[in-house]
Every structure is written in C-alpha cells, then in structure tokens.
Amino acid sequence: MDDIVRYFLNVEIAYATLPDLLRGFGVTVRMAVLAVILGIFGGLVIATLRAYRIPVLDQLLVVFMDFFRAVPSLVVLVMVYFGTPYIGLLLSGETATILGLALVLSAYAAEIFWTGIKTVPLGQWEAGLSTGLRFTEVLAIIVMPRAVRMGIPVLTNRTIAVAKGTAYGAIISAEEILSVSLSAQQTYANPTPLVLGALLYLLVFIPLVQASRWIERTYSIRH
C-alpha cells in the first residue's frame, strides 16, 4: 500500500510538478476551445457553400470532407506540423494541433450540417421562395436554424471526440497535459505526474461532456 502511494500518489512530486502541469492544462484548454470554435465555424461555412451547388467547388468540398474524416486525427496533425514548413509556414506544435483538429472537426461538422440541410422538407423551401424570399434568405432564416438544431446531438458527440485529440499534440511538441506529465514522469522516474495529468484531463472533459448534455437537452429537436 505504501508503495502505491509513493509511486502513484506522491505528494512531494505532485507539488513540484504542479506548476508545469497547470501550464499544460492551460494549453490543452486553449487548444480545445480554439479547435472547436474554428471547426464548427468552418463546418458551417462549408455546408452553406455546398447549398449553393457551385460546380467544381462543390466537388472539392466533398473531397475535403471525405479526406479529413477518413484520415486519423493524429496523422492529420503530423501532416500539418511536418508538412507546412515546405510551403513556407513554420507552425508551433500548439498552432499545428489547433489547425489540424479544426480541419478534422470542420469536415465532420460540415457533413452534419449538410445532412441537416437536406433533411429540411422541400416544402419549407417552396413556402419561402413562393413568398418572394431570395434563396439565401430562405437558407439563412428558415433552413439553417432547423439544420443546425437537428445536428446538435451528433455534433456535440463528435466535438468531444475531436477535442480529446488535443492529447495527440504531445507527438508534435505541443506542451499540453500529456507531454508535460510524460516529461515530468521521466524526470522524476515516478508516475505520479501521469496520475495528476489524468485528473486534469477529467477536469477539462467532464465539464465539456456535461455542457454538451445540457446543450442537447435545451436545444435539440424533440420528436
């Protein structure tokens, strides 16, 4: 029992590593928030563009959506981090993580919103257009609010899944919780920092899960 405490719940080491871990916590939260905001916004833009059925662009958007949903998130992050220098962009691990996760989430969000748009009955479009509303007005005022609400349960689930991908940032030198707790563990040859790291992850994601449940309850469409 004493060994368990010394190895996994070592108060001295916890105290010593806490400042770094809290910094890592801040990085994880920052990356998650930015990736989620950019990803959902990106998904909205893509789905809206698809509604206009612009030739060539539409096909390109489909390729984008399929690619970033098919490739594993970790691979996307690695591609972004190691690939962007070749086009003259030097991104930090943190920025590359945010960008990569935003690309992945925007692909999923676009698919979710697009499905929502297609599910709105044609009659809604016809009613709006028959009163003289523009296509864009019908899309923005009548169709998108429904499409977004319809997508909320799936979208919140997918958002949590992608946000957890911030941990992959450890591979591309983002100094988030996992990478900080791994270094601390190596420095002190003691797994207490990892335990602390796990607790910090719970601190990030349990509120996120509860927030998503609240959003689903309040905003999603009950059938």
Q: What does the block give as tokens for 201?
A: 């992850």
**Residue 113 to residue 60: CA distance in whole angstroms:** 17
Name the residue with tokens 């977004």: 148
3-class DSSP assignment, residue 20: helix
| Burial category of 56 from C-beta neighbours within 10 Å (exposed 0-12, middle 13-18, buried 19 and up) | exposed
Nearer to other proteins, 122 or 189 (CB): 122
Nearer to other proteins, 124 or 186 (CB): 124
First and final CA of the chain: distance in angstroms? 53
| x-or-dash string of contact with other proteins, 82-121, rule CB under 8 A | ---------------------------------------x
Is 123 an interacting residue with respect to other proteins (CB under 8 A)? yes
CB 19 within 8 A of CB 180: no
Under the phi-then-psi rule, with left for phi > 0, alpha for psi from -120 to 50, and beta for the rest, what region is 88? left
Nearer to other proteins, 51 or 91 (CB): 51
For the bound state, the minimum distance from the C-beta of residue 22 to other proteins, rounded and expressed in Å, comes to 43
**Residue 109 to residue 92: CA distance in whole angstroms:** 25
For the bound state, the minimum distance from the C-beta of residue 109 to other proteins, rounded and expressed in Å, comes to 20
* Residues touching other proteins, count (CB under 8 A): 18
For the bound state, the minimum distance from the C-beta of residue 9 to other proteins, rounded and expressed in Å, comes to 52
For the bound state, the minimum distance from the C-beta of residue 124 to other proteins, rounded and expressed in Å, comes to 6
Is 18 an interacting residue with respect to other proteins (CB under 8 A)? no
For the bound state, the minimum distance from the C-beta of residue 83 to other proteins, rounded and expressed in Å, comes to 43
For the bound state, the minimum distance from the C-beta of residue 150 to other proteins, rounded and expressed in Å, comes to 11
The enclosing H or E element of 201 equals helix 192-219
For the bound state, the minimum distance from the C-beta of residue 153 to other proteins, rounded and expressed in Å, comes to 17
Q: Which of 124, 186, 187, 210 binds other proteins (CB under 8 A)?
A: 124
**Residue 161 to residue 179: CA distance in whole angstroms:** 19
Nearer to other proteins, 77 or 148 (CB): 148
Q: What does the block give as tokens for 171?
A: 């591979």
> Which of the residues 128 through 157 are near other proteins (CB under 8 A)?
128-134, 137, 141-142, 145-146, 149
Phi first, then psi: what are they for 143, rounded to 5°? -90, -50
**Residue 135 to residue 77: CA distance in whole angstroms:** 37
> Contact positions toward other proteins, by CB under 8 A?
121, 123-124, 126-134, 137, 141-142, 145-146, 149
